[in-house]
Amino acid sequence: MEPVLQDREFPRELPELTNEEIRRYSRHLLLPEIGVAGQRRLKAARVLVVGTGGLGAPLLLYLAAAGVGTLGIVDFDFVEESNLQRQVIHGTRDVGRPKVASAQDRIKSINPYCQVIPYNTMLTSANALEILKEYDVVADGTDNYQTRYLVNDACVLLGIPNVYGSIFQFEGQASVFYAKQGPCYRCLYPEPPPPGLVPSCAEGGVVGVLPGMIGTIQANEVIKLIVGSGTNSSNQSAGLAGRLLLFDAWKMQFRELRIDKDPACPICGANPTIHELIDYEQFCGLKKEEKPVEIIEPEELKARLDAGDALQIIDIREPHERAIVKFPQAKPIPLGQMARRIDEFDPRVDAVFICKIGQRSVFAIRALREAGYTGRLLNLRDGVHGWAQKVDSSFPVY
């Protein structure tokens, strides 16, 4: 059985297992594919998990339980109540704590033999190479395109395998990107989607069990990379390198796509043009020069409504969101219908746009501008969340 991470890429001496560890990992030791040698490799391994959210939670729980000796965790966020529906590494009492601190405590409660190295920081082009170079495998549990491209490029430049996962609503993806032996993330997705086209989980939602399923698939791939996944009887890779696994939790269906290495890939192709980390926010179109969107504070909107000012309140949220809470005096116009319904707006009257957290409404305003609308357009700061925090505490926050 030929390991994916060759011994020359795994140079450190393999530690012996104590009697306590033999008891703990006995079910692994009974598997010929892992055995004592594989468990010793797990104990010696250093794995970095980027993100301790929906995907990072099961990744960390199962890698710790499996006996990975060192787990690095990168996250700069804090635990929120809305995380608990799926981010099972955190508990109710952890709300308000840094996610890396909460995750570290949970990992140590599962496996005291696991060393945890927390990085309570945002992964950026300035620090990614310095952090990632200390690890054998990186598992990407992020939820945005700029960090996915950053992780991919850093892994390619350092020669480290990148175990990828992503989730949205009921659908998930998983693969292994290892440029030494196959394609990288850029071979699959050469360019990011336009900004705002793909909502985040915070805006589009996600069924709670989905990250558990995709995250454990990622954990499985990490373990196989370390102990050696070998090949199956058809002489095809038993791992996900070169394959994109697609899962639909609603239909309970798996599909699979082949991914070929792109000879023209700008970072792992025959003649690469990327030799260092770049500005990934700019690459993903997040730094476009745009006319600033005018903001209206929740308190100001409340005062204008109380004064009886003529306003067009436009709620761009989807019907299932408005079923959670309706905004007073708002007219529903979904984001995708904005430009073609321009005739329903009166340019003589200020239009105020409402969404969940004040992000999607920015794209609605820009869509109207591009369609030629000349009236005044205002974005409610922080959307219905801002209204609940600053004006009406009876508003549910979702």
Model pLDDT for residues 136-152, shown as the tens digit of each residue: 999 999 999 999 999 99
Q: At residue 17, does pLDDT exceed 90? A: yes
Q: Report the CATH number that the domain containing residue 58 is assigned in CATH.
A: 3.40.50.720
Shared domain check, 331 and 221? no
251-278 pLDDT tens trace: 999 999 999 999 999 999 999 999 999 9
Pairing of strands 171-177, 162-168: antiparallel
**Residue 236's pLDDT is what?**
44
How much of the chain, in percent, has pLDDT values that exceed 90?
81
Q: Are 68 and 42 in contact (CB under 8 A)?
A: yes
Shared domain check, 219 and 101? yes
344-366 pLDDT tens trace: 999 999 999 999 999 889 989 98
- Measured between alpha carbons, how far is 327 from 273 in angstroms, rounded to an integer? 50
Shared domain check, 383 and 237? no
- The verdict on residue 1 lying in a domain is no
Shared domain check, 20 and 167? yes
- Sheet with 137-140, side-by-side order of all strands: 115-119, 70-74, 46-50, 137-140, 162-168, 171-177, 243-248, 253-258
Which residue, of 227, 256, 283, is where some domain finishes? 283
Is residue 350 classed as helix, strand or coil in its secondary structure?
coil
Which residue, of 234, 256, 283, is where some domain finishes? 283
64-83 pLDDT tens trace: 999 999 999 999 999 999 99
- Measured between alpha carbons, how far is 174 from 215 in angstroms, rounded to an integer? 9
- The verdict on residue 288 lying in a domain is no
DSSP string, 31-84: -TTTHHHHHHHHHH-EEEEE--STTHHHHHHHHHHHT-SEEEEE---B--GGGG
**Token pair of 52, please?**
């301790």
Nearest CA-CA partner of 167 in 183, 144, 147, 189: 144
Q: At residue 286, does pLDDT exceed 90? A: no
Shared domain check, 349 and 235? no
234-251 pLDDT tens trace: 334 578 999 999 999 999
Neighbours of 366 (CB within 10 A): 18
Nearest CA-CA partner of 353 in 303, 299, 294: 294
- The verdict on residue 46 lying in a domain is yes
Which residue, of 226, 259, 283, is where some domain finishes? 283
- The verdict on residue 398 lying in a domain is no
**Residue 10's pLDDT is what?**
67
Cα dihedral 37/38/41/45 (nearest 10): -170
Shared domain check, 225 and 76? yes
What's the whole-number mean pLDDT along residues 172-196?
93
What is the helix, strand, coil percentage profile of the chain, to 5?
35, 20, 45
Q: Known catalytic residue: 114? A: no
Shared domain check, 274 and 369? no
- Measured between alpha carbons, how far is 103 from 100 in angstroms, rounded to an integer? 5
The catalytic position among 187, 268, 284, 355 is: 355
What's the whole-number mean pLDDT along residues 92-104?
96
**Token pair of 307, please?**
């004064």
CA distances from residue 163 to 17, 82, 239 in whole angstroms, order as listed: 27, 26, 10
Q: At residue 381, does pLDDT exceed 60? A: yes
Shared domain check, 329 and 248? no
Shared domain check, 247 and 301? no
Indicate the pTM of the whole model. 0.80
How deeply is 92 buried, as exposed, middle or buried, from its count of CB atoms within 10 A (0-12, 13-18, 19+)? exposed
Q: Are 92 and 106 in contact (CB under 8 A)?
A: no
Is residue 110 classed as helix, strand or coil in its secondary structure?
helix
| pLDDT averaged over every residue in the chain | 92
Q: At residue 189, does pLDDT exceed 90? A: yes
- Measured between alpha carbons, how far is 257 from 291 in angstroms, rounded to an integer? 41
- The verdict on residue 47 lying in a domain is yes
Q: Count how many domains the chain has.
A: 2
What's the whole-number mean pLDDT along residues 176-199?
90
Shared domain check, 105 and 189? yes
**Phi and psi for 205 in degrees, rounded to 5?**
85, 165
- The verdict on residue 164 lying in a domain is yes
Q: Known catalytic residue: 155? A: no
Contacts with 85 (C-beta within 8 Å, 6 or more apart), sequence order:
208
CA distances from residue 218 to 121, 162, 223 in whole angstroms, order as listed: 23, 10, 9
What's the whole-number mean pLDDT along residues 169-191?
95
The catalytic position among 187, 201, 265, 284 is: 201
Q: At residue 167, does pLDDT exceed 50? A: yes
Shared domain check, 229 and 208? yes
Find the domain containing 353 and state its range.
294-390
pLDDT grade for 98, boundaries at 50, 70 and 90: very high
Q: Report the CATH number that the domain containing residue 311 is assigned in CATH.
A: 3.40.250.10
CA distances from residue 99 to 104, 168, 321 in whole angstroms, order as listed: 8, 21, 27
pLDDT grade for 233, boundaries at 50, 70 and 90: very low
Pure H helices in the chain: 19-24, 26-29, 35-44, 56-66, 99-110, 128-132, 145-158, 185-188, 201-204, 210-227, 280-283, 298-306, 319-322, 360-370, 383-390
- The verdict on residue 2 lying in a domain is no
114-124 pLDDT tens trace: 999 999 999 99
Shared domain check, 32 and 97? yes
- The verdict on residue 267 lying in a domain is yes
Is residue 138 classed as helix, strand or coil in its secondary structure?
strand
